[in-house]
Amino acid sequence: MRLKHIKGSEEVMLTSPHITQEPQTLRGAWKRPGEKLFLEIGMGKGQFITQKASADPDNIYIGIEKYSSVMLRAVEKQEQLMLPNLRLIRVDAEQMGEIFAPGEVDAVFLNFSDPWPKDRHAKRRLTSPQFLARYAQILAPGGSVEFKTDNMALFDYSIESFRSSGWEITALTRDLHADPVLSAGNVMTEYEERFSSKGNPIAKLIAVPPLFTTDNNML
């Protein structure tokens, strides 16, 4: 994705009270008993995670983004709304294992992740087996990944990646907005609004990781 650099965004990342600095120090302590923890990885400008947090004040929502210039828009939204259950972290998702303890996260949302179409960049796709292994580590028992995209090549790649990594796909549609079950309560992202207004169908899947025994073998 081509990004416009916004002057001053780096400084905002380091000084804004709406961004969680040194998130590693909160590993294992992001939520209180009874709360659930939901992450969006690659939140962009934050429309989705902000709306999710606003609609569900009893649980904790975290937006993760690696680029300051896009994240600035999410910070501006939070300056207005001051949602007490929303945290924003600027980090590359490769570092998730240092930020979340095993089993700490109840669901991971991946929305319109960058496709990285060249084979040599496949490891950077947020649905690559390497990233799925990271999610499997931090998800709680019963936790899931929910993935939406309009890019059918990325969707097909992702189905294969989940299956070959031992995940179970529990729901799948190639036309979310026409699916009465999966579209119930759907929160649109910025990219979803943009692509569906052009007539692109939106695909979605939900997947749960394999169960492992204590000696790390898949059941």
Ligand X SMILES: C[S@@+](CC[C@H](N)C(=O)[O-])C[C@H]1O[C@@H](n2cnc3c(N)ncnc32)[C@H](O)[C@@H]1O
Cite the active site residues. 114
Does 9 sit near ligand X (CB under 6 A)? no
Q: Is 70 in the site for ligand X (CB under 6 A)?
A: yes
Number of residues in contact with ligand X under rule CB under 6 A:
22
66 belongs to the binding site for ligand X (CB under 6 A) = yes
Contact between 70 and 3 under an 8 Å Cβ cutoff? The reply is yes
φ/ψ (deg, to 5) at 63: -105, 125
Give residues with Cβ within 8 angstroms of 202, minimum separation 6: 148, 149, 150, 175, 176, 177, 192, 195, 196
Torsion 76-79-83-88 (CA) sign: positive
Contact between 116 and ligand X by CB under 6 A: the answer reads no
CB of 98 to ligand X, least distance (A): 13
Nearer to ligand X, 65 or 106 (CB): 65
CB of 109 to ligand X, least distance (A): 8
Q: Which stretch binds ligand X (CB under 6 A): 35-43, 98-106, 133-141, 196-204?
A: 35-43
Signed CA dihedral, 68, 99, 216, 135: sign only: negative
Residue nearest to ligand X (CB): 42
Stretch that binds ligand X, among 38-46, 52-60, 152-160, 179-187 (CB under 6 A): 38-46
What do you get for the CA distance between the two ends of the chain, in Å? 38
Q: Is the C-alpha dihedral spanning 63, 67, 71, 73 positive or negative?
A: negative
Residue 68 near ligand X by CB under 6 A:
no
**Closest CB to ligand X among residues 72, 139:** 72
Rounded distance, CA 123 to CA 125, Å? 6
Q: Return residues touching ligand X (CB under 6 A).
A: 1, 41-44, 64-67, 70, 92-94, 111-114, 126, 189-192
